[in-house]
Structure 1
Amino acid sequence: MTSSSVDRPAVAAAQDRAPRRRGSGRALLTLLGFAAFLVIVAIGALAIGRYTVPPNEIVRILLGQVLPLEQTWYPQERTVVLEVRLPRVLLSILLGAGLAVGGAVMQAVFRNPLASAQVLGVSSGASFGGVLILLAGFGGAALVGGAFAGGILALVLVVSIARAVPGAPLLMIILGGTVVGAMFQAMVSFITYIADPYSELPSIVFWLMGSLATASYTKVATAAVPIVLAGVVVLALRWRLNILAMGDEDATALGVNPRRLRNLLLVCVALITAGSVSVAGVVGWVGLVVPHLVRMMVGTDNRMVLPVSALLGAAYLTVIDTLSRSLTTAEIPIGILTAIIGAPFFVLLLIRNRSRLWGSDA
């Protein structure tokens, strides 16, 4: 036996591992690039405002909380950065990441490019649950629980409607979401109609428009529990989304229970939506816009789409929130800006995917 015949399997194995290492290296560089972009956006958001703080001082203020740095910043700068802007930036990062991941998961689960918590009525259901809790005079964990229950109820109704009409599941999901969302929105409008116009109505209306103006470390902690918990579960299962996209029969053949996996992922999305709605009201369209931008950049592999969506979604919502408090003297609710950007994007998606929705080749 010659040495060349002995070494041939080892050489083949090394050649097979080389592309895999290159692919994982590119993925890591991509994630690091988006993470660096998020850091730059966050520092910019901490710097921009009516009271401008130099970026180098922002870095020193943040590092000075854990390292014994010489104080070169003014007390006012420290107050603005740590007590006013940092909670808001942390909340925008948390909500943007969660909403983008939730949208990516729903699009993969339903195999529908138009699926999102907003389009499928989950946000409206969560709003209804949250408004009921506000009307009862509760907040905090009760608000998260009410929003979660409303989101789950909306999701169950949409899935039931889609299954009731076989043959056009993609169309029925969109139509079902529209109907369910309109129904819950009508109930929200009824609650605002009967609410006390002096004590209850202003807080309900402002909450429904979506805003991070009242951000605090307490709200960051309140939202972090459901969003981080559900996000960790979703990211741990992201490779299974690729299997789920192959169809239920192939997924079952590969040892994956599609119904159980689908239900678990949808509960996670409802939990993320509930955590977001409970602290910031309805911030729509993030879950529709960001995942499509990510797929244009990195492809359709959910092992990359989900973590990149989290990073880009966090940066996207931080930019939108910075604009909402900087464009005018009176702050613009963030839900208004995300809708202004997201609605035209949704129309473009409808036009691009019309053949899949209506079965037309035109």
Structure 2
Amino acid sequence: MIVGAALSISGASFQGTFQNPLVSPDILGVSSGAGFGAAIAILFSFSAVMIQATAFLFGLVAVILTYSLSKRLRGNSILVMVLGGIAIAALFSALISCIKYLADPDSKLPEIVYWLMGSLSAVNSNNVLMIVGPALLGFTALLLIGWRINVLSMGDDEARSLGVNTEKMRLLVIFCCTFLTASAVSISGIIGWVGLVVPHAARMIVGPDHRKLLPASISLGATFLLLVDDVCRTATSIEIPLGILTAIIGAPVFIYLLQKGYEGWS
């Protein structure tokens, strides 16, 4: 539930901050970076705790690289940051492929692939305790600045005219969302579509006001991933990786949203 809530509120916050309904929590490369960190840790037979720590660290590194790249390039700051995130994500995806190529096909490779598909089967209470602190910090900060995300979603010029420092506020949102996403991915692996689809569903229910949208995203995201995980554990005799089922559910819903024309976005 913490993982689902973290991915959902991060997606909703990013969509408002970047003024783009197609943005997801991994837009700045955090998921690919975390996946690369976990792949390295698995390749070198690190402990479960070290795998999570390495995934978390490289998730943060990926976003730092994206942000640094965006500051060096000219042009629309939001567009440059998003494009930079795509480039960094592609780089780390290529590095993950290199790790898989080097991994032992009988032992390490299956473990790496299974982790990348996303699963909560190996998570225990100690893992949960590791992410409770970062999750509460990120949730609290984003909920407190929900009204400022409303202002950011109106555009930089409007935000500045209302006295909001757009650069610092956007950086704060990125930091909180990265912290939440990296924490979630470090214990669950890469779970796609949750942070993209759930905020849209919440927006259809409560509207675009982030003071209401962010709490709704937390509730819907937690409930959605809990239900999906139940199905993954009980549908067949072996547990289905979460990433597979969220993609199967998320893709048709996303197509439906495209046909609806983002109703409820504004």
TM-score where L is the length of structure 1: 0.65
Which of 15, 18, 22 matches 1:107? Answer: 15
1:126–1:273 Cα contact (<8 Å) kept: no
Q: Which is bigger in relative contact order (C-alpha 8 A, separation at least 6)? A: 2
Return closer, same or farther for 1:250/1:176 CA change in 2, 3 Å cut-off: same
1:158–1:177 Cα contact (<8 Å) kept: yes
Return closer, same or farther for 1:351/1:103 CA change in 2, 3 Å cut-off: same
2:114 matches 1:206: yes
Which of 87, 91, 96 matches 2:4? Answer: 96
Q: What's the counterpart of residue 275 of structure 1?
A: 183
Which of 94, 100, 121 matches 1:192? Answer: 100
Q: Residues 169-248 of structure 1: matches in 2 within 5 Å?
A: 170=79, 176-248=84-156
Which of 207, 219, 224 matches 1:311? Answer: 219
Q: What's the counterpart of residue 21 of structure 1?
A: none
Q: What's the counterpart of residue 336 of structure 1?
A: 244
Q: Residues 1-362 of structure 1: matches in 2 within 5 Å?
A: 93-139=1-47, 142-158=50-66, 160=69, 164=73, 166=75, 170=79, 176-349=84-257
**How many aligned residue pairs are there?**
261
Q: CA deviation at 1:209?
A: 1.1
Counterpart amino acid of residue 11 in structure 2: G
Counterpart amino acid of residue 309 in structure 1: S
Q: Deviations over 1:264-305 (max 9, x none)?
A: 211111111111111111111100000000111110000000
Return closer, same or farther for 1:174/1:250 CA change in 2, 3 Å cut-off: closer
Measure the CA separation in 2 of the matches of 1:162 and 1:111: 19
Return closer, same or farther for 1:273/1:168 CA change in 2, 3 Å cut-off: closer
Measure the CA separation in 2 of the matches of 1:134 and 1:110: 34
Q: Secondary structure at the match of 1:284?
A: coil
Counterpart amino acid of residue 240 in structure 2: I
1:219–1:279 Cα contact (<8 Å) kept: yes
Q: CA deviation at 1:247?
A: 2.6
Q: Deviations over 1:56-115 (max 9, x none)?
A: xxxxxxxxxxxxxxxxxxxxxxxxxxxxxxxxxxxxx11111110011111111111011
Q: CA deviation at 1:139?
A: 4.3
Measure the CA separation in 1 of the matches of 2:211 and 2:34: 28
Which consecutive unaligned segments of at least 5 residues does structure 2 have? Answer: none
2:34–2:54 Cα contact (<8 Å) kept: yes
Identity of aligned residues (%): 45
Measure the CA separation in 2 of the matches of 1:175 and 1:253: 27
Return closer, same or farther for 1:225/1:198 CA change in 2, 3 Å cut-off: farther
Q: CA deviation at 1:316?
A: 0.4
Counterpart amino acid of residue 324 in structure 1: C
Q: CA deviation at 1:131?
A: 2.1
1:163–1:169 Cα contact (<8 Å) kept: no
* Greater C-alpha Rg: 1
Q: What's the counterpart of residue 82 of structure 1?
A: none
Q: CA deviation at 1:167?
A: 5.9
Which consecutive unaligned segments of at least 5 residues does structure 1 have? Answer: 1-92, 355-362
Q: Secondary structure at the match of 1:113?
A: coil
TM-score where L is the length of structure 2: 0.86
Q: CA deviation at 1:249?
A: 3.4
Q: CA deviation at 1:142?
A: 4.1
